[in-house]
Structure 1
Amino acid sequence: MQGGLMLQGSGFGSARHVQEFSMKDHLSENVRRMRQIQRKCKQREKETTQPVKVMWKSEKYADIQSKIKQERENPPPPPRPQSARFLRAHSRSGPLVKLESRPCSPDPTNKLSVPPASSANDVHMMRHNFDFIKVNGRNARHTQVPRPASASALDNLKKKDEETMADYPFGEVPSYLRSRKKQWKKDEEDRIANTPDPSMPPGHRALPEKERMETLTLLKSKEKELVRQLASLPIGCDTMRVRNQRKEVEGKLAEIEEAIKIFSRPKVFVKCDP
């Protein structure tokens, strides 16, 4: 073969064979698949369909119809004639009355309050001999000039203060100060009375002054009585009974003297009751 090499089948310089691929339509495939699923579902529902169970109803009311059904079957009642004027203005007051108008006529009784201009010629000026200057001068002499309210109030206040100072009792202590001093004195006495004594032993209380004096008076009277008993005992008779009686009286007298010494102190402490 001249001019070149010839190969069996395909050779250089020949057209390429383009393989065509067919594109798949997914939309149509999805629609077809959905319809197939719907048909299967409908067929399955038909196969599994069961008859609806009738609702239970009592035999007593089997022949009685529903009132709603009767109302729907019966025709509606005809409208009433008075309902056409319901909620209408003046529906119960009857027909409207038309008033006839009449022309206005002037009232002859009305008279003018101002006289006519033609009567001005009949007016005459009247003048009296009156001295206004003299009258004004007399009024000016006897008229008091009004003062402002603030100045008058200040004068009244000053006058009132002067009267108060004139009537005030100088050199005397005011009553409110005297009452206040009494209150201060009472408060101080209460404070001193309620202040606990540092020398008071625990478990004791201070005996009030009044109670201390009463107890002291009783002790002194008892002492006088014992001294009188001791003096009335016989001196020459020295029997056992007399000696015991003298010893008993002397013991009581010693106790009372000791108690008098205790209650004669300015402060007496007694044990508190449990």
Structure 2
Amino acid sequence: MRLLCPTNSIRERQRRAGLTPVNHHRHNRLALKEQSAKNAARKAEQLKEEATAKKNAFRPNSSRGSVRPASARPGTAASSSASAVDQYGVDYVSMNKTAVVSAAAQRGAALRKKLEERDALKNMTWTEKKRYHVGEVPGYLLARKAELAEAARVKREMEERSHIPVGMRVLPEEERVKTLEILRENREDTYEKLRSLPFKCETPSSKRTKAALEFRLAEIEDAQKVFSRNRVLVREVPEEDEEEDAGSASD
């Protein structure tokens, strides 16, 4: 019989011998269920212990009285507000809070206005959208206007230069104002020197000094009248003469 129908495994030989093979799969499932039950019981016990510990931690102590949080203790708010104020009485915390709130409100208002305009533009018809910017000057017209103004300025400067005699130039506004300031200082200095002279000059030297100061004062006043004009023409000094003057000054 064994030769005609051989067995392929130990479990088959056990069945032919009248024995029941061990069901390892069932045993493993039972072991897993038992281990899961133990783990669940241990976890429940651990959670129960943690809950009991938390409950005991917040339970008031009869010997010391109930424990209140720091925010409910008297004087905490006053001390925190006092610490926010510096020695000069400036509450920088409140100032920063106000600045942040104000900036956020401005950003929110700008965003709300932008969203309202976008929603209004969405609800407009094609004709309303076409007339939405009626009355506004287009950008290309503004640019063209600026170009025409610049061209007119250049043309006006060229015409003014054509009326300038040869060898002369228009004194820049900065130099004209600076020259007027120097003339004003010289006039005050000359006037103070005249005031320091005697009321009646009898000696020849005092008479010459008085005459020179009066002549100098008249020259300064005439120069002030000239440089007070809007357009002042001065002699154009060549570069060679300027270099010679600079060299003589250095010598």
Give the alignment's TM-score, normalised by structure 1.
0.36
- Greater RCO (CA < 8 Å, at least 6 residues apart): 1
Bigger helix fraction: 2
Give the alignment's TM-score, normalised by structure 2.
0.39
Answer with 1 or 2: which has the greater Rg: 1
